[in-house]
Structure 1
Amino acid sequence: MSRLIVVSNRVPVPEKSGDAPAGGLAVALQAALEEHGGIWMGWSGKSSGTREPEALDLKDRGKITYALTDLTDKDVEEYYFGFANRVLWPICHYRLDLAEYGRKEMAGYFRVNRFFAHRLAPMLQPDDVIWIHDYHLIPLAAELRQMGVKNRIGFFLHIPWPPADVLFAMPVHEEIMRGLSHYDLIGFQTDHDLENFAGGLRREGIGNEIKPGRYSAHGRIFKGGTYGIGIETAAFANFARKSASHVMVRKAAASIEGRDLIIGVDRLDYSKGITQRIDAFERFIEGNPGQQGKVTYLQVTPKSRSEVPEYEAMQRTVAEQAGRVNGALGTVDWVPIRYINRSISRPILAGLYRMAKVGLVTPLRDGMNLVAKEYVAAQDPENPGVLVLSRFAGAARELDSALLVNPYDIEGTANAIARALSMPLPERQERWGKMMDYLNEHDVVRWCDDFLKDLVA
């Protein structure tokens, strides 16, 4: 394969060549870029105020050039906080009630994608392979095609893709669908997402599936497929094995004083089902009074998009709810819920996962959810914990040996917590073994390789 060009909203730039990236996606993409050589382009995360951003900030790290651009305050407000996160994000997560469509924000979204295209195009060589990531950049291929770019261009959507009745409530759904048709390969997390996309083509009468995995729309023929993203399974398992010696992990273990640990780790977002999860934990304690004082529920929820009013309001709601439950159920020597509103480093997180007897991963809707996979990878094979997983997470299509729950069913989730805590060791080992086998085979490197192989085929 020729050079690889990756474009994403944000770019994790290492301090120096050879530094390890922080997360699984960055690990896979950096490895692919180092193998083929290439460019990783995206927003710097900085604003240039009202000034037009200057030339791309190029940082060479071995065979990879990281190309960063600032955006104006107007661009950030309209493209990122506006259309991407107040329209596309809620609609793709089936939350029509939270979508705030505005023509100004829509125009900003397409304008920034055009800006990205004009910055990227001069750096392209004829045989470069381009891989664009996520909902922020759906129109980017169409902008590049309009400039005459004929390279192979792939797109991967990291979040869910909704069914036609949800998608068509968005006023500009036709432009979004047309934008996707300019890719050579569109990748989705699950077969359900791909089915929703194909159904939208048929329902709108703009295209059809001409044979399995190949589609026709807007005068173009392109491929679509499912590529469930994985984690760096072996590395994360190794993190967890070594974590017992970490001072913070030892302190955490001592602080729970032999109680069973239940853990939830989520970015603060209404799609994650955090309030329903706290309700389910409360119901579990009320229904199992013998568990009072014997379990600790740790909820790690870093702040997210606090500039968006919905997220600021949710931060208050979750904190108040955790406080209410602690006030109602807690005792002098027992705090039922520990709520942490900041990030924790991955090595420490791996250790906490390994300590936890139950992993609560109960989003209302999620493209994949890598916390579920990290929790499984972190477990001790001799004494693994139990994953309680929402059936509305993409991970449920792969990790079907978890205890699958409907997160809207508070009673059902409470019962699953009770079952997880009382599950016999042989059943825990059997369930964990099946999931771990899958994760070892389908890690993030395979995800990357499979997508790129199909893109250039």
Structure 2
Amino acid sequence: MSEPVDLVVVAHRLPFELVRDDDGALSYRRSPGGLVSALQSALRNRRALWIGSAGRSCDQGVADALDNPVVAACEFDEIVLDRGVWSPHYLGFCTSALWPLYHSAEVAPVYRGSDFAAYCQVNEMFAARAAARASEGGMVWVHDYQLQLVPSMLRRLRPDVRIGFFLHTPFPAEELFEQMPWCRQLLEGMLGADVIGFQTEGDVAHFLAATQRCLALRSEAGRVVVDEFASRRDVAVGCFPVGIDTELYAAAAAMPEVVERAAQIRGELGDPRTLIVAIDRLDYTKGIDLRIRAFAELLTDRTAHNRGVVMVQKAVLSRESAHEYRRVRHDIERLVSRTNDACGGADLLHVD
């Protein structure tokens, strides 16, 4: 049995994922998305345990094929999910219901009872693992929309630990949120934490309004009052914007090999006077299509065109098995082709 840990981080994904090359060899690579970047600096000098999935299922038969790579001063505990549970949990409830709902229902959410049942099952697995690994009176830090039920489940298993929950996505307006058939269960799950964090003050306001509207709970000075067995418990709710390690990025940008490679890239692009660079995960919420259309508008200004303007958009693939994301990829590829054709065939827009 592994030793208990004072700080346990619980996230749906580990900071790395398993990939298989064309020859069938297995290796790890950094997980896409902002959560890893957000936590990397916070955990760099702290002993912690990170519980999560590396993107492989137990039906792949490779659960013990590789040792955990050293990504930070952190220990890792991998949860391997059965694909029959992972698919309705992640592709179903998380990707088709929560993600669009939390991004203003730009795409209509899809609600299925079987997906929510899988969501509950996965959350129970993560809560049980965290309960088994946290030290007496330790701290458990739960992250993001895939695990919103974990705080309350963990509190029932380990009332001695301190629990934090942070939502990395927006939180929708209460009128929109209450359309979710299981809105009460999600709120009650989050309120199992001692502290709940959001990215913006607007998200905090929406959450507090939802607890009042859906659960009839009152808030006082940024705290939600929860009555448990006739005893009062206050849950702190606040805005804690995520940033980046600016010193790390600045140091990397000044490295001679980075400066040299940047010059090479600019040269490969025709040494434009103005180079616009963007990096996003391929997702309909990122506005990549709007950015490309805005760039196309810029190119209609012949003055800007003559100055030599090139745009490079790095789109990190994710959720390729979801229909909506395959459609987004197809639409962007077609938009890039049309934009470059409109410029007389010049490759002024590059999307990788």
Both structures adopt the same fold (TM-score exceeding 0.5): yes
Read off the aligned partner of 2:223 and give its amino acid letter.
Answer: R
SS at match of 2:236: strand
Residue 292 in 1 paired to residue 292 in 2?
no
Q: Tell whether 2:266 aligns with 1:262.
A: no
Secondary structure at 1:264 match in 2: strand
The TM-score normalised by the length of structure 2 is: 0.84
Structure 2 unaligned segments of length 5 or more: list them: 18-29
Among 227, 233, 252, which residue is 2:240 paired with? 227
- Matches of 2:83 and 2:106 in 1, distance apart? 27
Cα deviation, residue 120, structure 1: 2.5
1:111 alignment counterpart: 121
> 1:204, CA displacement in angstroms?
2.7
Q: Is the 8 A contact 1:13 1:66 kept in 2?
A: no
Percentage of matched positions with identical amino acids = 28
- Once residues 140 and 73 of structure 2 are traced to their aligned partners in structure 1, the CA distance between those partners, rounded to angstroms, is 16
Aligned pair 1:143/2:162, yes or no? no
| CA separation of 1:43 and 1:225: change in aligned 2, threshold 3 A | same
Alignment of 1:210-289 (within 5 A): 210=220, 212-217=221-226, 219=228, 220-242=233-255, 245-255=258-268, 256-286=270-300, 288-289=301-302
Any idea what the Cα deviations from partners look like across 1:311-335, whole Å, max 9, x if unmatched? 011100000001011111234xx32
Counterpart amino acid of residue 137 in structure 2: D
In 2, are the aligned partners of 1:285 and 1:292 still within 8 Å (CA)?
yes
In the TM superposition, residue 86 of structure 1 has moved relative to its aligned partner by: 1.2
Q: How does 1:237-386 map to 2 (within 5 A)?
A: 237-242=250-255, 245-255=258-268, 256-286=270-300, 288-293=301-306, 294-331=308-345, 334-340=346-352
Question: How far is 1:242 from its partner?
Answer: 2.1
Whole-Å separation in 2 of the counterparts to 1:327 and 1:252: 22
Report the CA distance shift for 1:282/1:263 in structure 2 as closer, same or farther (over 3 A).
same
* 1:10 corresponding residue in structure 2: 13
Q: Quote the Cα distance in structure 2 between the aligned partners of 1:149 and 1:330.
A: 66
| Per-residue deviation, 1:13 | 5.9
What CA distance in whole angstroms lies between the structure 2 residues aligned with 1:244 and 1:260? Answer: 22
Which residue identity lines up with residue 161 of structure 2 in the other structure? Answer: N
The equivalent residue for 2:49 is 39
Give me the whole-angstrom Cα distance separating, in 1, the residues matched to 2:282 and 2:136.
42
Shift of 1:38: 3.3
Pairwise mapping of residues 69-80 of structure 1 onto structure 2 (< 5 A)? 69-80=79-90
What is the CA-CA distance between 1:245 and the residue it aligns to?
5.0
Shift of 1:59: 8.0
**How far, CA to CA, are the matches of 2:70 and 2:318 in structure 1?**
30
Provide the TM-score with structure 1 as the length reference.
Answer: 0.66
The answer (yes or no) to whether the contact 2:50–2:76 under 8 Å persists in 1 is yes
Coordinate RMSD, CA, aligned: 2.6
Secondary structure at 2:56's aligned position in 1? strand
Deviations 1:246-302 (A, max 9, x none): 55322212133233111221110000111111111112222x122224211111112
Cα distance 1:202–1:26, how it changes in 2: closer, same or farther (>3 A)? closer
CA displacement at 1:206 relative to structure 2: 2.1
Question: How far apart are 1:26 and its partner, in Å?
Answer: 3.9
Note closer, same or farther for the CA distance 1:149–1:298 as it changes in structure 2 (3 Å cut).
same
Secondary structure (helix, strand or coil) at the match of 1:249 reads helix
More helix by share: 1
Q: Aligned residue pairs: how many? A: 323
Aligned residue identity for 2:41: A
Structure 1 residue 48 displacement after superposition:
0.6
Unmatched tracts of structure 1, length 5 or more: 15-20, 341-457
Contact 1:50/1:74 (8 A) holds in 2: no
SS of residue in 2 equivalent to 1:237: helix
Q: Residue 248 of structure 1 aligns to which amino acid in structure 2? A: R
2:25 corresponds in structure 1 to none
* Distance across 1 between alignment mates of 2:58 and 2:193: 31
- How far the C-alpha of 1:143 sits from its partner, in A, is 1.2
Q: Is the 8 A contact 2:166 2:198 kept in 1?
A: yes
Task: Give the deviation of 1:58 after TM superposition.
Answer: 7.8
Alignment partner for residue 83 of structure 1, among 93, 108, 111? 93
1:124 to partner: Cα distance:
2.4
3-state DSSP class of the match of 2:254? helix
Query: Aligned with 2:338: secondary structure?
Result: helix
In structure 2, do the counterparts of structure 1 residues 289 and 92 end up closer, same or farther at CA, with 3 Å as the change threshold? same
1:243/1:191 CA distance change after superposition, 3 Å = farther
Partner of 1:193: 203
Give yes or no for contact 1:50–1:73 (8 Å, CA) kept in 2: no
Amino acid at match of 1:215: V
1:153 to partner: Cα distance: 0.2
SS of residue paired to 2:237: strand
Aligned to 1:372: none
Q: CA offsets per residue over residues 66-99 of structure 1, 9 Å max, x none? A: 1111100112101111111111111111126431
The DSSP-based 3-state class of the residue aligned with 2:224 is: strand
